[in-house]
Each structure stands twice: as structure tokens, then as C-alpha cells.
Amino acid sequence: MPKPWITVEPGWRLRNTAGQELDPLLFRILQAINDTGKLTESAVRVGYSYRHCWNLIHQWSAFFGVPLVELSKGKGARLTPLGEKLAWAAERVQARLGPQLENLAVELDREINVAISDSKPTLRLHASHGYAVALLPELFAQIGTARLELQYLGSLDAMASMARGNCELCGFHLPLNLPCGELMTRVHKFLKPRSHRLVRLVTRTQGLYLGQGNPAGVQSLADLTRPEVRFVNRQHNSGTRILLDLLLEHGGIASQHITGYEQVEFTHAAVAAFVASGMANVGFGVEAAASRFKLDFLPVAKEAYMLACRTDTLEQPAMQQLLGILRGPEFPAQVSGLAGYSAERAGEVLRVDALEAVLAGQG
């Protein structure tokens, strides 16, 4: 009988100076109320009874000395200002640390399972962080005959990792209809026409994250240089940072004139949470994160998110299973729920020398 595979799920706790810990369930309840506006629906979402959820809210409202949730007959439930702050804190922690913790969990998971289980086919994917690629491990797990091990790296770092033999697949994104000769030179350092193949994943929209109602009055990238605008950026070598720098270069906009340009976060969600908190006026990233944090969004560019692998990897059973997932109904259905994403032609295999045509909208 095969031994079970272990999944490591990272978590975090909030403790005061007296040693009292907030129950992590409270954050899930508050987030669910923020999303649904109903305690009954929130209780179902988190998998606990209405009474248990209300008792937990009441307990921690008493601890803080102010209500966390207000219930109104016929109007459902809404978070108080403190409840909103706690829900936002949980969102910010998850957005900022989630991918790094997931990477650590993957490494621990690998070592634990090597120690307790017979070997099981594993397809290693190192990829730029994104909402669509994050769907793949769970979809892949439903097949049951292999594992998809996903770790997050910046686009160029993911390509370099595959070139070193640290993974079978890499995931990266490149802008559509935007001249990027220097970037393509860097891409072709890692991807060779004879040795590699590309697989379409999704197209997605990147743009500016703005507070609700756009109080800063930002209308274009050029407005980022206004002295009253505070920006939050992505980390160096991430695909999104590379895209932004290309856009600034083509627009003749000097990054040194952007307040906050060196303030960085490591995921789209972390950037969106930073703007939602009011610590910055503007961020840059995918539309799905703006939607998640209820921000206004100004579209700026579209890009292709691709996977790449060695040509012989395509023949591996695990890779064939992944292609089947991308071409099947479930992946496009889930992607359709992500704002600014499209899975049209997902799973299509391309030659590396077709990449320029794809980015020019001709392939």
C-alpha cells in the first residue's frame, strides 16, 4: 500500500505581550464577512457553526474593548473599523509572505516525503508568481499519478533555474506589442530553438492600482512623477518590474523622479494590499489583485504568460498530464473567474523561434 504524501501548510499567529493568541479562525471569519456581508454565509465558508463564529467574534471584541462586527437585522453583517484593520492585516501578511512560505513548504514537503515514501513522479515548475499558475498544483493533484512541485521565482530567475537543471519547467511573462529587444536577448540566453519548447498558459492585463475613486487623480504612468504621488514597486528582476521599466523607458519617464520607486513588495497581492492600506497611492500589477482588494484599476499593458521546457520533457507522462489539464475544461473555467486573465489557446505548444511573433500579436 503506498505511503501518504505530506503537505506542509504554513501559518501565522498574532500574540500580545500577555501571551494571548488570536485564534487564526478569527481572521478567516472577518475576511469572509468582508467578502459576503453575512455571518451565516461566512460561517458556511469557514466550515464552522454560526454560534461558534459569533462566540469567537464576541470573545475577541471583549478582549479589544470594541466591537469587531456589527449585525443589523435585514442588513447582514459588516466589519467595524477595527475589524477591517484586522482583516486587512491578515490579507497583508498572506499577500506579502504567502509565496515565500509556500516555497519553504515545498522544500520541507520534498524532504519529508523522500524520507517516508516510495518515489513518485514529480514535475518541478519554477515560475513567476501569478494567479493562474497558482491553480496548477491543485488541478494536477486531482490526477493522482504524479506531483507538480511549484516554487516561485522571478521570470528570468525561473529560466536560469531550468537552465541549471533545477526544474523541468519554468514560467515567465513577456509584454505583448511592446518593443523589448534587450529583454529578448536575455530570454534567448536561456531558451534555445533546438533544445526547448514553449507552452501557452494565459494572457493577462497589467496596470496601475489606485485607491477607490482614484483620489490621487492618476491618469497615466507619467503621473507617477508628480511629487504628491507615492508609488510601491515590485522587486528587481521580477517580470512585472521588468515590464514597468520597459514602459517607463518607452514613455521617456525617469524612474528617479518617482517617489517610492525603490519601495518594493514581492507579489501582486502584496502591492495591492499596500495601496489598499493607504501607505501608497499607486502600485503596478495584474488586474486580478486590484479586484481582490477592491481597488480601481487602470489598464496599461497586456502580456503573455508562458511555460518553457526542454523538448524531451514534452514526452514525459507527467508533462502530458499537465498539457491535458491546460487543454481541458476546468483550467479555463477557473481562469475565467480571474479579472484580466484569458486562457484562450492554453496548452498550445510552440517553438521558441515563434515567440517574437506571439508577442507581436501575430501568432
- Count the neighbouring beta carbons within 10 Å of the beta carbon of residue 3: 10
Burial of 181 (0-12, 13-18, 19+ CB in 10 A): exposed
Residue 292 above 50 pLDDT? yes
**Per-residue pLDDT reduced to its tens digit, 193-230:** 999 999 999 999 999 999 999 999 999 999 999 999 99
Whole-model pTM: value is 0.78
- Work out the angle between the directed axes of helices 39-46 and 50-64 (0-180°, nearest 10): 110
Q: Taking all residues of the chain, what is their mean pLDDT, rounded to a whole number?
A: 88
What's the confidence (pLDDT) of residue 97? 67
Work out the average pLDDT over 255-261: 96
Q: Which residues contact 130 (CB under 8 A, 6 or more apart)?
A: 171, 173, 202, 204, 268, 286, 305
User: Could you tell me the pLDDT band of residue 3, with boundaries at 50, 70 and 90?
Assistant: very low
Task: Please compute Rg for the chain using Cα positions.
Answer: 22
Burial of 169 (0-12, 13-18, 19+ CB in 10 A): buried
**Per-residue pLDDT reduced to its tens digit, 127-173:** 998 899 999 999 998 886 888 999 998 889 999 999 999 999 999 99
**C-alpha grid cell, residue 88:** 486587512
Residue 351 above 60 pLDDT? yes
Question: Who has greater pLDDT, 179 or 264?
Answer: 264
Enclosing H/E stretch for 196: strand 196-210
**Per-residue pLDDT reduced to its tens digit, 7-58:** 556 566 777 777 777 788 898 899 899 889 999 999 999 999 999 999 999 9
Report CA-CA distances (Å) from 146 to 111, 305, 316. Answer: 17, 24, 11
